[in-house]
Structure 1
Amino acid sequence: MKLSILITTFNSEEWLKKVLVGYSLQTVQDFELVIADDGSSEKTKQVVDSFKDKFKHPVLHVWHEDDGFQKCKILNKAIIQANAPYLLFTDGDCIPRKDFVAQHLKHKEKGYFLSGGYFKLPMETSIKITPETIDNEQCFNISWLIKNGVGKSFKLSKLIKMPFIATLMNWLTPTKKTFNGHNTSCFKSDLLAINGFNEAMQYGGLDREVGERLFNYGVLAKQVRYAAVCLHLDHKRGYASPEIWKKNNAIRGYNRKNNITYIENGISQYL
């Protein structure tokens, strides 16, 4: 097996269905899905079970009881369960284009993690996306998106499906190469070396912090935001707060200043 795809979710069954449809249509199917479920109800399990026969490999559902926002904890548990040496991280509200997996596998390289992005949709457009528009890739079509609630902007250039344009834009973009939880892939061995996600952190930069410790460890990053494309469905973020952002930023600042790679409150407690 080439790849384990870790998809985080929490009580967002309708969005998760659309995301799983996207993965069932990938041009490369030699991967396993690991659903990192941060305490959802039985409805999410039912959705996961309904897709199990649509993939080459078993779909793993890693769940723990709801204890507030514990994304780092459920991701660490999911990483332990993942069977492939290479991991792709994304969220249950990000629909992958059909070549999403192929692009991550194409660009993977030892000593690097891949830094991807997303195209963010308004709620109106998010609701209008159906399995059919995912299958025929209408929802990735710029004209269709504009007709269905997306405003015109330069960001639509992310969706141009031309290898030359993607390569050029990945090179030209001023966006930093960061570890983004919605679209990043890396080697499992590198994550284990830095002890995975930092469970002292909650919402706000928790994925960036992983990337910063990978940099400190000597892992570099490659930009794939214009090659590995996904659509971000709209949702509320009731778990964000200024206090948590302040705490998380302090942790990141300390780690950068002191060249921290390995944190104590991480994946080792599940090994």
Structure 2
Amino acid sequence: MSQEVPHEEEGQEDSFMSHLIELRARLIRAVLAVLVVFVALFLYPGTAKIYDLLARPMLASLPEGTHMIAIGVITPFMVPLKVTMMAAFVIALPVVLWQAWAFVAPGLYKHEKRLALPLIVSTTVLFLAGMAFCYFVVFHTIFHFIAHIAPNSITTAPDIEAYLGFVMTMFLAFGITFEVPVIVVLLVRFGVVDVKKLSSARGYVVVGAFVIAAVVTPPDVVSQFLLAVPLCLLFELGLICARMVQPNKNAMTDRENALVEKD
């Protein structure tokens, strides 16, 4: 027994190192995908046009002839660059998700691996849908609401760096919010919780939605309402989709068989 222990420890170390090497390779591929898209966007249409597109909802709510300002010395260069990087990450998101899935896939069972393509597609589409809803609906509503209630004695000239921070926070909040149906379906699919329990917790979900909206959005009723209501509706959509998905009862059997084979 004393001679077998070092060999077992050596095997565990080799396995750990191989996982680290695999993780590094997947991360490099994901980063390269983002960088390739970033370079393409940098060359065409360019960082300035991409930022102008992002700033369009804010500019539409400002008085005619009013522009946004940049306080920092290098801010006019760095902020459009950051916006372009954000756009590159969103466009390359399917590749990033695929690399993450490819890393964890060897440890999954066959019935779990079948979820790869639907999960990646649905996650990407819903995240983009959340960003689109935020851009076309939420920004338009919030900025016009603020412009109408602002006193006439105040001249609105938002700083582009503060605007970028606000936009990124809102995009992330709505992108994650729109992933609720995927989360609900996965919980039901793997038997973590059934549809009846989720349905009975509907009241807690509604309260939690408004609490989350109050935390992640600006302190105004409009933005909180525009986040909380879609979250509740998406939860209901997740319940509808989850009813079509039966918990995979073979998962536990597969795990038990795997343990028996190891023994």
Pair in the same fold by TM > 0.5: no
Q: Which has the higher contact order (CA 8 A, sep 6+)?
A: 1
Identify the structure with the greater helix proportion.
2
Task: Give the TM-score normalised by the residue count of structure 2.
Answer: 0.23
Task: Flag the structure with larger Rg.
Answer: 2
Task: Give the TM-score normalised by the residue count of structure 1.
Answer: 0.22
